[in-house]
Amino acid sequence: MSVLRPATGRYLEQILQDTHPLWHDGLSVEAYRRHWEAQRRTAWGAEHLDRVALVRGNPPDDAGEVLASAKRYDFSMRLDGRIRRVLGIGAVFTPPRHRGRGAARELMERILEAAEAEGFEFALLFSEIGPAYYEQFDFVPVPRVASRIVVDGRGGGAPAMLVRAGEDRDIPAIAEMNALRAKAARLALDRSEDLIRFAIARRRLLAGLGPPGLRQVEFLVTEEGHQAVAYLVCTAEAGRWTIEEAGDRDPSGARLGAMLQVMTAREPALVPPDIVSWWPDALRPPQLRVEPTGPTPEVMMIRPLAGRALPLPPLQASDVAYWHADAF
């Protein structure tokens, strides 16, 4: 007999200690704990993010032993023109001492059962172990392609445009850019202002809590008429830039391309960075060359919840607009 419980108190401490070796991203145990707590204190995280634990028996409070655990995200997603409530399932973990006894399976079954009862229409996850395990729960892969971004450096320097650090006042304009792009896709998150703030804060926290110099995060915008008209969030680590998310009011993405030209021209004596991204198929700035390198390492998977929605028709990678910033 086991039960699903909120992962708080001693349960949470056990989960953080157990999962730190696998998902620490260079953080100490204490920084790893602070990273989680800070995400939960954001406006979006407080309402839409939690952890659950499968606990042996039915103990009082947090007195039982955690058999398996996972994160849960409460998303809104645009699927074939309709906004749906989607449960994100992340960080599914069974402590080594409990593996091979079906704890993860029971955890998944209970999470999905609870989600259906709470009114979720779909469940979404990212698998680091390939699709086979989660296919037994009726998840199907969503094609995602990783790309290398090559910036055109011809012309002898950066374009004459102002690129500044992004600020909170830019978030409403960024949400509008995201909404415009999402309408053109079959599958895309409905990114509220608070979700955008959460995604940026999570990356900044990861950089700020890590060892000095391990990674840097830049949130940059260009503006016209005192309003942001293009933006990007970039993580730099070990000579590689990851474009976590980006947007441009111009359908061609020309201002976004010019921003990347400005960024790469700041230190012309250095070796150009390797730039990677989960770049949307429909976004093709004229200053960039987008070179697909293969499927993303994390396999994106989705399933409808019984009685709530019909299965999705097959998706192509070009049907999906989903930035690396929102992977979980």
How far is the C-alpha of 312 from the C-alpha of 315, rounded, in Å?
Answer: 8
Q: What is the reported pLDDT for 176?
A: 97
Contact between residue 175 and residue 193 where contact means Cβ atoms under 8 Å apart: yes
Average pLDDT over residues 261-279: 86
pLDDT band at 157, cuts 50/70/90? low
Q: What is the pLDDT of residues 5-55, one digit of tens each?
A: 999 999 999 999 999 999 999 999 999 999 999 999 999 999 999 999 999
- pLDDT band for 294, please (50, 70, 90 cuts): very high
Query: Is residue 245 very low, low, confident or very high in pLDDT (cuts 50, 70, 90)?
Result: very high
pTM of the model: 0.94
CA dihedral 192, 195, 200, 203 (to 10 degrees): -150
**Local confidence band at 116 (pLDDT 50, 70, 90 cut-offs):** very high
CA distances from 152 to 85, 226, 250, 252 (A): 40, 28, 19, 16
pLDDT over 70 percentage in the chain? 96
pLDDT score at 155: 56
Span 246-253, mean pLDDT?
Answer: 95
What's residue 261's pLDDT?
A: 94
Q: How confident is the model at residue 156, as a pLDDT?
A: 54
* Cβ atoms < 10 Å from Cβ of 314: 9
